[in-house]
């Protein structure tokens, strides 16, 4: 390796990882919504807490602040709730449409 390449500094500032927002992870949002549709009560609460804590721990490992983690997890929780409402609404609409069909 040349002496010039040995002295090259790629960055003068501290670099950091910026995680993709949890609320934008559509597959994770949909997976959680699907799981929560099929479980209830204590089992649902345990699943939800476990999932959110795992997501928070991943962000913590990336070096996110506690405030950033809290904000990300809250936004994620909102997106899961919105997805669950959308799925429920879609089922209701499909059921209503089935009820209004004329038999040939």
Q: What's the total number of domains in the chain? A: 1
**pLDDT tens digits, residue range 43-89?**
999 999 999 999 999 999 988 999 999 999 999 999 999 999 999 99
pLDDT at 97: 82
pLDDT at 24: 76
Query: Which has the closest alpha carbon to 54: 25, 83, 34?
Result: 25
pLDDT at 94: 87
Contact 25, 33 (CB under 8 A): no
Q: Is residue 3 part of a domain?
A: no
Q: Is the pLDDT assigned to residue 22 strictly greater than 60?
A: yes
Q: Is residue 43 part of a domain?
A: yes
Say what the pTM is.
Answer: 0.72
Q: Is residue 104 part of a domain?
A: no
Q: Is residue 50 part of a domain?
A: yes
Q: Is residue 97 part of a domain?
A: no
Contact 25, 79 (CB under 8 A): no
Q: Is residue 91 part of a domain?
A: no
**pLDDT tens digits, residue range 48-59?**
999 999 999 999
Q: Is residue 100 part of a domain?
A: no
- The domain containing residue 56 runs over which residues? 20-82
Mean pLDDT of the chain: 83
């Amino acid at each position: 390796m040349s002496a010039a390449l040995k002295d090259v500094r790629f960055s003068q500032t501290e670099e950091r990882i910026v995680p993709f927002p949890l609320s934008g992870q559509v597959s994770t949002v949909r997976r959680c919504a699907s799981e929560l549709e099929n479980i209830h009560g204590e089992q649902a609460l345990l699943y939800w807490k476990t999932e959110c804590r795992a997501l928070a721990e991943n962000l913590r490992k990336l070096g996110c602040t506690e405030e950033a983690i809290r904000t990300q997890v809250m936004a994620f929780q909102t997106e899961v709730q919105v997805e669950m409402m959308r799925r429920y609404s879609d089922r209701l609409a499909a059921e209503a449409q089935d009820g209004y069909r004329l038999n040939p």
